[in-house]
Structure 1
Amino acid sequence: MRPLIILRPEPGAGRTAARAARMGLTARLCPLFEARALDWVAPSPGRFDALLLTSAQTVRMAGPQLDQYRALPAYAVGGATATAMEAAGFDAVTAGETDGSAIAARIAADGYRTVLHPGGVDTASIEPGPLTLHAIAVYAMIETAADGLNGLTGGEAVLMVHSPRAGKRLSALIAEERRGRLHIVAISDAALAACGEGWASVQAAERPDDDRMLALARRLCE
């Protein structure tokens, strides 16, 4: 069985590894980034008519200031983000299953126009359409040393890539001549494209969630 290498930061890496273990897969963790909270000034909730989060990390890193926006209609990209928001006290979160641009279109269709979008320093671009998006950075993803990556990728393996930034860093860390026995499972087409070429195989999940990624990875690992 090929090992599964999980490159996402904690706490998501541990959750993915636990799911993989329940599927009988051999998971190894090598986060390429770690999240660090930033100081941020929370704008008045009265300025906005909706809230959009594109990462569960935002819920963890934003701190108690995020509570000010519980009364706003809440939207999320992906089930994991929606679940984190609901656990933090947001009611009736509307989850989109593709990307930020798709959920922005849903927000606009629901009649909202001025949207607060707290998130990371580096986030995927969103096509806002008629929306006015106020993006504010509440955390940054910092590169880890990733010391164990070379040892984990010395033979055949399946690598899970959860973001375009992780794909870009993976491409920089592993030379093309070492990629022929490594398989990529990415969370999106954008994350897949960032990995570059030369891998044994590449696949992107139909929707951005762990269950779909792990379903693809399982077939490759076995």
Structure 2
Amino acid sequence: MRFLLTRPLHDSRILAHLLEARDHEAVIEPMMEVRCRPFEPPTDPTSYQAVIFTSANGVRAFRHHFPDSILPVYAVGPATATAAREAGFSDITSGSRDVEKLAQLIANDPELDNSRPVLHVAGTHVAGELKKLLQKVGIELERWVLYEAEKVNQLSGTTLEMLDQGKIDAIPFFSPRTARIFLELVRAAGREETLNQIKALCLSAAILDVIQSVNWQAIRVAPEPNQNSLFREINIELEEI
């Protein structure tokens, strides 16, 4: 199968490698460009009990600004935990790619107390209600916005040609925002009708809400919010990252 990958470049390259190792093809067309933002920390990171990463982009942005800082880490899922490990963190607790479950995991950690806040590293667009969820159990969260993910303005000529020629078999979507940007660009290019030849793979029901108005060849939604579960819907086994 040939997949169109719409995640940011670094994440798409990792997924492309996994797919190509299983004799599939991948075309990388990021919907967003991720950039670190200038940042002056209001305090030293060590004043926090722990740092929360809800994406691998957050890990990379934190390391860009604070190359030597080591804190206990809470990661939203295995991919983010792997990024944290590769960035030199060792005390890592991983959730299951769900912000609500991550909040519950943090709230139930006996090593945390309400004496100091926890730090959440995020981008300019934040999904979920992590701060409110932790406030309910008496844990103060402070957020540092260290990166931005700006949407691209148009689809590449290569992707438009492949859509026209029916050479894309499936598109996995990992966030509602990515799916929304993709549909905006497809419609702006007058190519919405080409999607009826393509399978849409949704990591969550929230993504399904964004894309279900389009006439796809088929839509699959992952039973669990992880990459393995998503690709099993089309009988492809991928190792978890």
TM-score, with structure 1 as normaliser = 0.86
* Counterpart-to-counterpart distance in 2, 1:142 and 1:124: 15
Number of residue equivalences: 217
Task: Give deviations 1:135-167, integer Å, cap 9, x for gaps.
Answer: 221111122232243223232520011211101
Structure number with greater CO (CA < 8 Å, separation at least 6) is 1
Asked if structure 2 preserves the Cα contact closer than 8 Å seen for 1:20 and 1:214, the reply is no
Percent sequence identity is: 25
Aligned twin of 1:159 = 171
Tell me which amino acid in the other structure corresponds to 1:173: L
Tell me which amino acid in the other structure corresponds to 2:174: H
1:185 and 1:35, CA in 2 relative to 1: closer, same or farther beyond 3 A?
Answer: same
1:214 counterpart = 2:231: yes
* Counterpart-to-counterpart distance in 1, 2:195 and 2:78: 31
Q: Which blocks of at least 5 consecutive residues in structure 1 are unaligned? A: none
Residue 193 of structure 1: which of 202, 205, 209 is its match?
Answer: 209
Asked if structure 2 preserves the Cα contact closer than 8 Å seen for 1:161 and 1:185, the reply is yes
Deviates more, 1:122-131 or 1:79-88: 122-131
Report the secondary structure of 1:173's partner residue.
Answer: helix
Deviates more, 1:205-214 or 1:14-23: 205-214
Kindly report which structure 2 residues correspond to 1:137-176, keeping only aligned pairs within 5 A, or say none.
137-144=145-152, 145-147=154-156, 148-154=158-164, 155=166, 157-175=169-187, 176=192
Query: How far 1:106 sits from its partner (Å)?
Result: 0.8
* Counterpart-to-counterpart distance in 1, 2:67 and 2:226: 25
1:39 counterpart = 2:38: yes
Asked if structure 1 preserves the Cα contact closer than 8 Å seen for 2:123 and 2:146, the reply is yes
Kindly report which structure 2 residues correspond to 1:45-194, keeping only aligned pairs within 5 A, or say none.
45-67=45-67, 69-71=69-71, 73-111=72-110, 112=112, 113=114, 114-127=117-130, 128=133, 129-130=136-137, 131-144=139-152, 145-147=154-156, 148-154=158-164, 155=166, 157-175=169-187, 176-194=192-210
Query: How far 1:79 sits from its partner (Å)?
Result: 0.7
Q: Which blocks of at least 5 consecutive residues in structure 2 are unaligned? A: 237-241
* Counterpart-to-counterpart distance in 2, 1:104 and 1:213: 23
Asked if structure 1 preserves the Cα contact closer than 8 Å seen for 2:76 and 2:95, the reply is yes
Structure with max Cα Rg: 2
Residue 222 of structure 2: which of 181, 187, 205 is its match?
Answer: 205
Deviates more, 1:30-39 or 1:146-155: 146-155
Query: How far 1:104 sits from its partner (Å)?
Result: 1.0
Deviates more, 1:114-123 or 1:56-65: 56-65
1:66 and 1:108, CA in 2 relative to 1: closer, same or farther beyond 3 A?
Answer: farther
Report the secondary structure of 1:150's partner residue.
Answer: helix
Query: How far 1:20 sits from its partner (Å)?
Result: 0.3
Task: Give deviations 1:184-210, integer Å, cap 9, x for gaps.
Answer: 112222233222422222223234433
Query: How far 1:14 sits from its partner (Å)?
Result: 0.8
Asked if structure 2 preserves the Cα contact closer than 8 Å seen for 1:51 and 1:115, the reply is yes
Query: How far 1:169 sits from its partner (Å)?
Result: 0.8
TM-score, with structure 2 as normaliser = 0.80
Aligned twin of 1:19 = 18
Query: How far 1:38 sits from its partner (Å)?
Result: 0.3
Tell me which amino acid in the other structure corresponds to 2:155: A
Task: Give deviations 1:15-36, integer Å, cap 9, x for gaps.
Answer: 1011001111121111111111
* Counterpart-to-counterpart distance in 1, 2:33 and 2:234: 23
